Amino acid sequence: MFNKFLKSQPAKFCVVFILFFAMASVAFAQTEVAQKVVEKVEAKVEQEVAQKVAEKVEENKSVLEENKKAVEAQIAEVEAKEEAKAKEAAKVIEEAKVAEPVIAPEAPAKEVAPAKENGKKKSEPVILEEKTITVTKKEGSKEYKTTKETVQEFLKEIKEVYLEGRVYPPLTAVLVDGDIVHIVDRYEQFVVEEKDVPFEYEFIDDATKNFGDNEILEEGVKGLDKVTYKEILKDGLFQKFEIKRERLSEPKRELVKRGTARSIKTSRGYVGYIKKMNVQATAYTLAEGNGDGVTSIGIVPYEGIIAVDPRVIPYRTKVYVPGYGFAMAGDTGGAIVGNKIDLFMHDWHRAIRWGRRNIEIYILE
């Protein structure tokens, strides 16, 4: 009957349940054992770590203690040296006091004004002056405003591209307001030449000497200029344009004693003459001539032509007429006889204003 029960369905179920319970009990027991093992391992690890940390701390404490002792020893050594120096200094001072002579008290020092730079206190900010600079190139000219000091700084500021040796003034030159910076290309250049500067004359008039009889009292000396040219290619040809002139040496004037006898002072300076003549001078215009528009010597009249009596003043004689100027005998007239002359003028009103005058004229050399 027991065998029959084991073969029944409830018996099978009981067996399965008992087996499952037994297996679960075993698994639970194993898990509990594993948990205890893990806890023991963790406890051991923590103990070992704590021990190593403690050992390391002790090791560091000993190192720190050694370092502290070394530092304290160095400090003590320095303090000992300083103390020795202080004692030595005190000894020197005491010795100096014994030998020190009596000196009268010094007068109170004057107050010194703060140092200045270019008329300003150093603490004051320097205000940079703005300058107007023109840059001239082959393409044209352009004006800029800048506070830069040198040509190089200025060109860097405006981002100008240039070739070495193709900039004037030089890159190191200091800019001033109104400067012109010239830039040329590779086929152009700057040329520097020295040019003579002519000297002037200073005259001492001597009426006892004849005109043209001159005596040099002090020799003149030419001056010298340094001239910078810009040599550029223009219209297929190289042409030079002056861009700067610097005076290297000033000319020295020449002092001349000149004879003024038998000369007349004119707008052109002193002019020598052969003789003086007293004449009666009138004026005429083209409308009052012979009607063909030319003078008696066959030239078209102009101001500077005078009508004369050729028996008195030959044709083509150079004459100076005060109030009229330099003239040439180049015409005649029916009423011009003897010491009479007629002055040609373009303006009829001016001729009328001249009228008739008795004057002294000069027959020139």
Whether 338 and 330 have beta carbons less than 8 Å apart is answered as no
- CATH class for the domain made up of 267-364: mainly beta
Model pLDDT for residues 195-233, shown as the tens digit of each residue: 999 999 999 999 899 888 999 999 999 999 999 999 888
The third-level CATH classification (topology) of the domain covering 197-261 is Resuscitation-promoting factor rpfb fold (2.20.230)
Residue 288 has pLDDT above 80, yes or no: no
Amino acid identity, position 190:
F
pLDDT attached to residue 113 = 44
pTM recorded for the entire structure: 0.47
Tally of residues, the chain: 365
Q: Which CATH number fits domain 126-186: 1.10.3720.10, 3.10.20.30, 2.70.98.60, 3.40.30.10?
A: 3.10.20.30
pLDDT above 90 covers what percent of the chain?
48
**Phi/psi of residue 6, each to 5°?**
-65, -30
pLDDT attached to residue 105 = 43
| Domain ranges (residues) in the chain | 2-80, 126-186, 197-261, 267-364
- Closest alpha carbon to 232 in 186, 280, 274: 186
Model pLDDT for residues 67-117, shown as the tens digit of each residue: 778 778 877 777 777 777 777 766 756 665 544 444 434 434 444 445 455
Q: How many CA atoms lie within 13 A of 296 on its CB side?
A: 19
Model pLDDT for residues 16-37, shown as the tens digit of each residue: 667 776 676 666 666 676 677 7
Measured between alpha carbons, how far is 171 from 154 in angstroms, rounded to an integer? Answer: 9
Mean of all residue pLDDT scores within the chain: 82
